[in-house]
Amino acid sequence: MTEQKKHAGGIGRGYKKIIDWDAIGRMAQVMCTDDDIATITHTSLYCLKTRCVTDNGCKFGEFIARHQQQGKASVRKVQYEMAIGREGKLLRDDKGKMVLDDKGHPQWEIMPISPNATMLVWLGKQWLGQTDKVENQVSGKDGGVLTVNIISSIPRPTEVNGDNITIQTNAKTVSRP
């Protein structure tokens, strides 16, 4: 992942660590944290942040955010394909014949995906603001008007005596100091 390369003169260890920014970008795409990346590359977070500016011309946070966005876009693409479905593509040899496995089953270059209604509903809710519509109709006896009496369920103090408060409820009287 990282190697060391001698650099001429200057202050420091006498070598400059070679950082694999492509690998770091792939780690960001799968949502690795900054600390995860530093640990996996055996590089301090300080070094990654300072070297990102010199090697990539941007701050480390910007570099990570850009690659995380690419990862999110990949997830969205797969979710969309799961919702809509995707045609498969069979693997073919140089002569155009289907490649079969040892059991005689065709091999796929791109696996087909059957449409998934649950994923389609989920994407509709997430992307399009769609909701499940729930309608309840309540009526009184024989379809007539229903009368509703709302009684406050919040108990109110019935007596305040210094530091003691008495609350009257339907069940019993409760005194709290």
pTM of the model: 0.54
Same domain, 67 and 7: yes
Residue 123: how many CB atoms within 10 A of its CB?
Answer: 18
State the Cα–Cα distance between residues 39 and 1, nearest whole angstrom.
Answer: 11
Quote the tokens at residue 12: 């420091």
Same domain, 35 and 95: no
Of the three residues 28, 58, 84, the one that is the final residue of a domain is 84
44 lies in a domain?
yes
Which residues is 90 bridged to in the sheet? 108
Structurally, the chain folds into a number of domains equal to 2
The mean pLDDT value for 146-165 works out to: 63
The number of residues in the chain equals 177
Same domain, 79 and 95: no
Same domain, 110 and 77: no
Short-list 117, 109, 125, CA closest to 84: 117
Owning domain of residue 25: 2-84
Same domain, 48 and 95: no
Q: DSSP label at 104? A: S
Residue 140 has pLDDT above 60, yes or no: yes
Residue-wise pLDDT for 73-109, tens only, equals: 988 888 888 888 889 999 999 999 999 999 999 999 9
Share of the chain above pLDDT 90, in %: 41
Q: Are 56 and 34 in contact (CB under 8 A)?
A: no
Same domain, 15 and 71: yes
Of the three residues 84, 115, 144, the one that is the final residue of a domain is 84
156 lies in a domain?
no
Same domain, 52 and 94: no
73 lies in a domain?
yes
22 lies in a domain?
yes
Count CA within 13 A, CB hemisphere, residue 68: 11
State the Cα–Cα distance between residues 2 and 51, nearest whole angstrom.
Answer: 13
